[in-house]
Structure 1
Amino acid sequence: MEEKREYSLVDHQKPYRYDEDGLRVTRGSAWSGPGCHLGCGLLMYTDDEGRLVKVEGDPENPFNEGRLCCRCLALPEVVYHEDRVLYPMKRAREDRGKDAWERISWDEALDAIAETFLDLKEKYGPECIAFYSGTGRDIGQYITRLSWGFGSPNFVFAMSGQSCYSPRVAGCFANTGAFWLGDYSQQYPDRYDNPDWVLPECIVVWGNNPLVSNSDGLYGHWIVDCMKRGSKLVTIDPRLTWLAAKSEHFLQIRPGTDAALALSMINLIIEEDLFDHEFVDCWCYGFDELAARAAEFPLAKTAEITWVAEEDI
């Protein structure tokens, strides 16, 4: 009996590893730093000595279809940069702030760390140490085991994106119980040809340049793919980006006035009765207070604050 799968396999014409023009090509995927959450398919070209010569997008990977951003394309420069730290380095406490590093072995480094940890544990208890993790990648499952195996409950998820990522995640979870990702058919191996996928009628890009940033599960080129298929784009940004120039509507907002524009739009939606009453009655808390606050931003006032014309709002 054939096992039922909840996923599909993608056929490739070329194998996982092959030779081309005197170089060895290895197929893979990348979550390249800093800040990449994607995992685009790439081809890594190495010479006879195993040195990474270049990186190209994998045209047989349905996720990015051979396209890469500058982070992946620059991987050879990152790997062989003269300032990259390749070994454990130690500096005396009295030399803090000075470029007075001494190379040590991996065993010396691990012994020094273990000695310090165990000494603190004996003196103050395991709870005295907090184990910090950034935005995941490949460390999350290991540092939690280290924390709990050490006896400390203090696993801390400390992200650098407190101004953008954390509020977005918290807002999504508080309102819908999950983190929102735009549906650009990235979940299907046959992508835009999948019959279950529906083309988005309108895409709003607000204060973001996805062709450059490619952040949090959104590859900017997917927006262009959808535009070619008929999606209309609305861009709200102080700058005239490439996407803004191609948009159906470009609201060139005064920096720092996004909240006023959002409240004015909410006010219009409420005034013109364009919202789902049943959904609001069943699931929304504080709607009346939101409506009252949004009413403080009529079109004329908002246009003066944001520098966006009333008719554009």
Structure 2
Amino acid sequence: MKTFFKIFKWTFFVLGFLFISSIIFMRTSRVMDKQFFTVRKDYSYEKIQSDLSHQEFYFEMEDGVKLHGALFKPDSLEAIATIFHHPGNGMNINRAAVQYSFLIERGYQVFTYERRGFANSTGVADNALELKDDALNVFDQLIKEETVKGKPVILWGQSLGGAFATMNMAERHDFADGLIVEGTFNSFNAIGQHYAGMVNMEKIKWMIPLLSPNDYPAEENIQKIHKPVVVIHSKEDKQVPYELGRALYQASNKESTQFWEIDGLHINGMNQRRQKYLALFDEMLQPHS
């Protein structure tokens, strides 16, 4: 009997050690980051396909990676404000720019960029902390541009880009005037558990918070924001569940945050309700008018 308990004890110890070692390895090797951020389809292109006036950028990061971006501008008047757009996963500049025409007509200039490892940006998207530094670096460089300096800046994020925009606003609170997010989520752990079946983890999705460092804690970040925030989510969203957007709103400072419940497809609010969407951006400028 003593031998049996001894074997059981050592077996339990070895299995526990292997389990903990595996968790540590997967966290430090950032296996989940590759699942979240790698875009497997090629979205590169030769040139920006848009009739809107624009200025193209290549921002060089410290490790030599170059991030491709573009600032879309009104033709005949000076921009009233800059919208810094963090687009959804798989949305390159050409796809993002389709949404900008009515914002440009109103007098906004809109900037967006492509994250490393995607479309015409170089590098590999396998580390959330690198992507976070990239986003802040691009933001810091953009606000120094002559056409941006001295103007209000509104952060706008869609889907995955909502996590980036919320982080951006929390980290650069003094340099932006408001935040609008649509179809986004309250944490990477929550969205990871929703998509666990796609990586064969449906039966063990409880492990995802153990495997992912959650470097974009949106619920914590949104609490740091005391400027106007709008959280938009469709109750019919099939890609990011409505409950995750609602949870993000619940974590926010209610005195400065509003929730807009819509219907329809994922991040399709702008196409369906342009005037209302435009009014949200305009409201962000009221302290400057």
Same fold (TM over 0.5): no
> Which gives a bigger RCO, structure 1 or 2 (Cα 8 Å, sep 6+)?
2
Work out which of the two has the higher radius of gyration on C-alpha atoms and give 1 or 2. Answer: 1
TM-score normalised by structure 1 residue count = 0.22
TM-score normalised by structure 2 residue count = 0.23
Greater percentage in helix: 2
